[in-house]
Chain A
Amino acid sequence: MNKLHLRLLAVILLLIGGGATWYKMTALGLPITADSTTQIWTVEARISFQADGGPSQVNFNIPHNPPGFNVLSEDYVSGQYGLARDRDGDNRVAMWTARRASGNQALYYRIQLADDRDSDIDLNSPAPAYPEVPDYPEPFGSAARALLSDVREESADIASFTRRLLLRYNADDPGENVQVLRSGVEGSTAHVNNLIDILAGARIPARAVQILILRDRMRRASLDTFLEVHNGSEWIPLNPVTAERGYPSNVLVWKRGAEQPLTVSGGSGADIEFAAARTIREMVSVAEQRAAQRGASMLMDFSLFSLPVQAQNTYRLLLLVPIGALMMVILRNVVGIATFGTFMPILIALAFRETELAWGIFLFTTVVAFGLAIRFYLENLKLLLVPRLAAVLIVVVLLMAVFSILSHKLGLERGLSIALFPMVILAMTIERMSLVWEEHGAGQAIRQGLGSLVVAILAYLVMFQPQVGHMVFVFPELLLVVLAVVLLLGRYTGYRLMELWRFRHLIMDRKGQ
């Protein structure tokens, strides 16, 4: 029953820890690797017009679930205008209204977007009705029909049909039909509208999509037009010129439909200018912002990222201690390495972080060796335990100071980091080591000392893997998994690796018989 209880507890801990980690990884997009960054686009639209002096209203379409991006934040600079937002079919619209406005007016809309290739592309809006075949004027009509029947021969489905059509329409040496179709059409929007008209001849539902092509530090940019055709189940975006399928990563869908994105009443000379800038940011902060945007911020509000940076840095270190503790459990109970003090090696490993490994080992052995020498001298004075411990502690502190000064004079700045060694722990280690030395012999003392050092090195190597530090900080619930493993190891009754060595003669003896 006891064992079942323990296993149930461990399984529950594993599920909670693993589940929360998995959720944060998949749903919130927290990165698994330490140095993941993503690009953030900040896009700004500037609306300007000349107000008449009476009431004015500005309706401006703003992006709605743009494919390939995650919206991190939106800002409006509205001045005296009241702001309302509304859905408008597949689009979203921002409405600025003012009772009285005159002179030059400027309104700003700013959106922050994170690259997200796997965001759910919202192209599943209700299927449109099949368009009626339009009444084409001649010779447009016969040219369109000829082109459509040519293209139909070469294609399998709506997507490939449209692609062929686009390629033919944009060919360098267009045939006679295409020349007829293209004549008198200027500008990309007009061409797209023309194409929608031609596609209607094949009863293919199509629409124009107004897009912004993002370039870093672009200014005074304007919208471009893309084509989307509906294949019966979803809208398929196509570049109307190159016929490439899908939106490239630098294309932001601003509005679906060919209508002007901006309408102004009570004003004239309306104009929009777009600007964009790209920044690189850490995935973590992006995920955080995204979670807030989605309202799933509970987990993030209570995450370590909500702490002040100073405290965050403390926890970056503290959260590694359980990993060190796990190492201790494994190395002592499964491997069976003898150490001084249960958790002393972890504290040494923490100190190694500041000193770096080679220096850390050197400093540690030096201080312990000097300390031991002094401790053996103190033995002759026959001091009582606590004063003797205090004396060793004082000597350790002095040694550290002398070492720092010497290494500073020699220009070895690393030597200064010795100050970060846990001196009380060092003093206790020296005392314990000297006792073991006296009672169990030098061999035993050195073996345990080396054991402690080896464990400290191994703990250091594991604890200060950037990946490990990142995982426990971003997913602190992983510590529940560590707890579960430690609990399970708490009932490990198998042999320690060292016992294989200890009882080796018994095994060989049995073999011999």
Chain B
Amino acid sequence: MIGWFRQLRRAGILGMNERNARFIMLHNQRRNYPLVDDKLITKKRAQEAGIHVPALYGVVEIEHQIRDLPTMLGAREDFVIKPAHGSGGNGIMVITDRQRDNFRLANGVLVGIEEVGHHISNILSGMHSLGGQPDQAMIEQRVLFDPLFEHVSYNGVPDIRTVVFKGVPVMAMVRLPTRRSGGKANLHQGALGVGLDMGTGLTTTAVLKERFVDEHPDTGNPIAGLQIPEWDKLLELAARCYHLADLGYLGVDVVLDRHEGPMVLELNARPGLSIQLANRRSLLKRLEQVEALDEIPADPRARVAITKELFARNNPPTPQAVPP
């Protein structure tokens, strides 16, 4: 047992206690949490800063407004309803299509407007929010995800999680929904985590529920070696998010839209630790490298340069292709 402790320590794996005590509590001011926990605020601030986010169609704040839903939706064919204070991708309803008064969900099921209204009502009552407090429902643009991931994801929207420490992107992974995760891009629920080469934006190793894998469990396609388009732009976007909430230890979730490129979906003040499994790399060592820097430049581009200089070479070996 002690031996395992030492090995983890030597491997530089960041544990939950250490993450909380040394990074979150030290670098994330409590009063800044609402800026990321409330996605409406995040979106507004991002728009002001010129950071690309999915467009906001409308906000439902009180039960009464649900009646006006048809007016609010107008003739929109596709949209996403999500709680402003949601966590872990819960409570998100994706409408992909519309047939007059019926809406098609991401899994193909048709639902009526009452069902949509009930979902919003649930959101308002706080069912999906942190701590169960009353919430608001956001209706926003549906991201048409880049065909890049078409062969390695099952339903849902794959996103790219980047951990940004003091404004410097330190580690990133792609989160691919699986059948098991029910289309959600959440590793705890069974989504696939794929490590990224910080220098090139190429996918490397992958993890599924703590186990290392090389192929997508549903589609069977190999995961390694995919190139994230506009990688430098994505890193810069992540680095710029540091200024949105002044959180030293931040998770930035970015989606790639087919037409509009990388967009920031949400920020996270307590990004998880599985990114280490996806990358098979120590987060702690990278964080310490950034901690050791004398000065962090104010220019996001200069910070991306630091990322490339420090972490580009530190990559896991590309997995061997498994012979058929």
Q: Which residues from chain A sit less than 8 Å from chain B, CB to CB?
A: 333, 336, 382, 384-386, 435, 439-441, 444, 491-497, 499-500, 502-507, 509-511
Cross-chain contact A499 with B8 (CB below 8 angstroms)? yes
Name B26's closest neighbour in chain A (CB-CB).
Answer: A2
Residues from chain A with Cβ under 8 Å of B18 in the complex: 493-495
Residues from chain A with Cβ under 8 Å of B4 in the complex: 500, 504, 507
Contact with A along B172-194 (1 / 0, CB 8 A): 00000000000000001110000
Cross-chain contact B189 with A439 (CB below 8 angstroms)? yes
Considering only residues 1-56 of chain B, those with a C-beta below 8 Å from chain A are 1, 4-5, 7-9, 11, 13, 15-18, 21-22
Residues from chain A with Cβ under 8 Å of B7 in the complex: 507, 510-511
A497 to B17, CA, bound (A): 11
A500 to B277, CA, bound (A): 12
12 pairs across A/B with beta carbons < 8 Å?
Answer: A382-B118, A384-B121, A386-B125, A439-B90, A439-B189, A440-B189, A493-B15, A493-B17, A495-B13, A500-B4, A505-B277, A506-B11
Secondary structure at the A interface, as helix, strand, loop or mixed, is helix
Give me 5 other A-B pairs in contact (C-beta within 8 A), A440-B189, A504-B210 excluded: A385-B122, A435-B127, A493-B21, A506-B13, A506-B280
Considering only residues 52-95 of chain B, those with a C-beta below 8 Å from chain A are 88, 90
Minimum Cβ distance to chain B for residue A439 (Å)? 5
Cross-chain contact A499 with B15 (CB below 8 angstroms)? yes
Q: Which residues from chain B sit less than 8 Å from chain A, CB to CB?
A: 1, 4-5, 7-9, 11, 13, 15-18, 21-22, 88, 90, 118, 121-122, 125-127, 132, 188-190, 207, 210-212, 276-277, 280
Most B C-beta atoms less than 10 A away, residue of A333, A382, A506, A511: A506
Cross-chain contact B16 with A499 (CB below 8 angstroms)? yes
A435 to B126, CA, bound (A): 12
Residues from chain B with Cβ under 8 Å of A507 in the complex: 4, 7-8, 11
Minimum Cβ distance to chain B for residue A451 (Å)? 15
Residues from chain A with Cβ under 8 Å of B276 in the complex: 503, 506
Residues from chain A with Cβ under 8 Å of B16 in the complex: 336, 496, 499
Cross-chain contact B8 with A500 (CB below 8 angstroms)? yes
Most B C-beta atoms less than 10 A away, residue of A386, A435, A439: A439
Residues from chain A with Cβ under 8 Å of B280 in the complex: 506, 509
Cross-chain contact B277 with A503 (CB below 8 angstroms)? yes
Which of B17, B121, B190, B210 interacts with A494 by CB under 8 Å? B17
Minimum Cβ distance to chain B for residue A109 (Å)? 66
Minimum Cβ distance to chain B for residue A288 (Å)? 43
Cross-chain contact A496 with B15 (CB below 8 angstroms)? yes
Cross-chain contact A333 with B132 (CB below 8 angstroms)? no
Cross-chain contact B125 with A500 (CB below 8 angstroms)? no
Which of B1, B88, B189 interacts with A500 by CB under 8 Å? B1
Cross-chain contact A505 with B189 (CB below 8 angstroms)? no
Cross-chain contact B125 with A384 (CB below 8 angstroms)? yes
Cross-chain contact B122 with A439 (CB below 8 angstroms)? no
Minimum Cβ distance to chain A for residue B154 (Å)? 15
Name B207's closest neighbour in chain A (CB-CB).
Answer: A505
A497 to B18, CA, bound (A): 13
Q: Which 10 A-B pairs have the closest CB atoms?
A: A385-B125, A493-B18, A495-B15, A500-B4, A493-B21, A507-B7, A382-B118, A384-B125, A439-B90, A493-B17
Which of B21, B122, B132, B212 interacts with A491 by CB under 8 Å? B21
Cross-chain contact A385 with B127 (CB below 8 angstroms)? yes
Cross-chain contact B188 with A440 (CB below 8 angstroms)? yes
Residues from chain B with Cβ under 8 Å of A510 in the complex: 7, 11
Minimum Cβ distance to chain A for residue B70 (Å)? 19
Cross-chain contact B189 with A494 (CB below 8 angstroms)? no
Most A C-beta atoms less than 10 A away, residue of B13, B88, B126: B13
Given A336-B16, A506-B277: A494 touches B5 (CB 8 Å cut-off): yes
A385 to B122, CA, bound (A): 7
Given A382-B118, A495-B5, A499-B8: A505 touches B210 (CB 8 Å cut-off): yes
